[in-house]
Structure 1
Amino acid sequence: MAQKMTDDEWRAFVSYGTRTGKLSTVRADGSPHVAPVWFLLDGDEVVFNTGKETVKGRNLARDGRIALCVDDDRPPFDFVVLQGRARLSEDLAEVRYWAARIGARYMGEERAEEFGARNGVPGELLVRVAIDKVLARRSIAG
């Protein structure tokens, strides 16, 4: 029987290792667009980068609503879905700082600055999502 995760449990779950998020944004015609993203939690916000001219970037500029799913695909299966509204920043210092922090999580601290330099450039966005709703379950098949 599935069990609800506590606040501390879901935060630890989404921050564990290199789990990616599956980000859902809203296309202009109202249909969903889903893409994997590297991300971090920063307090009660999700932080990630994307290109301004990507499908994600264009969708978020028009309609900031998102859902982010993070899951463990191994039995007994756990997942967290975070919902909220995105705020976009093109401040290069901010974009570069967070790109480096995100790069450190996924590629290791020794490559953090490389990813900050690669992704902290004009045309890249910093996306901050205030978390409005959390659905977090563990042991789905348990």
Structure 2
Amino acid sequence: MPGMTDSELTTFLDEPGHLLRLGTNGTDGLPRVVPIWFIHHEGAIWFTPRAKSAWLGDLRADPAVCATIDETASPMRKLIARGRAELVHDLGADDIWRDMYRDIACRYTPERFADAYITDTIDEPRALFRLTLADADVSTWRMPLVDQGENPLAVWGKQYYHRS
């Protein structure tokens, strides 16, 4: 299965609507996966837990994460990034990065709704984290692009076959 080029990956991550599924090590000893909004900016995936999010506590206790972003429609692009989330702004610093939060909200909702949502939740503090892709273990793949001459049977990575 082909991996994505840097250009293909950037295009994919910059498209609106894809959810980030963030896996954390739960403080209760069990893994936790949450589907959340994100934005791709400056080579990183940025995301924002609210103050009362259980996964904020997970990140504070252990910043190790596994992030997946995928699509179900062809060409079924996928990203898995394993690394350490970095706290960029803690709770209470929302005013510093609210424009980024608005950009995140506008990726998923009409601009008018995003503005109303931000106004309605302005008193609910959020933290801002990022996962820098250059510092993470990143895997990408997509289905072969048959119309561009790629082998339609190349849907598994070589490591999955018993014979080489």
Regarding TM over 0.5, the answer is: yes
The match for 2:103 among 101, 104, 108 is 101
Question: What SS does structure 2 have at the residue aligned with 1:123?
Answer: coil
1:18 is aligned with what amino acid?
G
State the Cα deviation string for residues 4-53 of structure 1 (Å, max 9, x = none): 11111112112212111111111125432101010001112111111122
Aligned residue pair count:
141
CA RMSD in angstroms, aligned pairs only: 2.1
Relative distance call for 1:115 and 1:62 in structure 2 (3 A) is same
Alignment of 1:35-50 (within 5 A): 35-50=34-49
Kept after mapping to 1: 8 A contact 2:50/2:124 = no
Alignment of 1:1-142 (within 5 A): 2-88=1-87, 89=89, 90=91, 91-131=93-133, 132-139=136-143
Kept after mapping to 2: 8 A contact 1:25/1:66 = yes
Kept after mapping to 2: 8 A contact 1:100/1:114 = no
Q: Which has the larger radius of gyration?
A: 2
Identical aligned residues as a percent: 23
TM-score by length of 2: 0.75
- Distance (Å, rounded) in 2 between the aligned partners of 1:139 and 1:80: 13
Shift of 1:120: 4.5
Q: Which moved more, 1:67-76 or 1:14-23?
A: 67-76
Structure 1 unpaired stretches of 5+: none
Kept after mapping to 2: 8 A contact 1:22/1:36 = yes
- Distance (Å, rounded) in 1 between the aligned partners of 2:35 and 2:46: 13
- Distance (Å, rounded) in 1 between the aligned partners of 2:32 and 2:84: 15
- Structure having the higher strand fraction is 1
State the Cα deviation string for residues 47-99 of structure 1 (Å, max 9, x = none): 11111221111101111111111111124522111233222222121342222
Structure 2 unpaired stretches of 5+: 145-152, 156-164
Moved over 6 A (4+): none
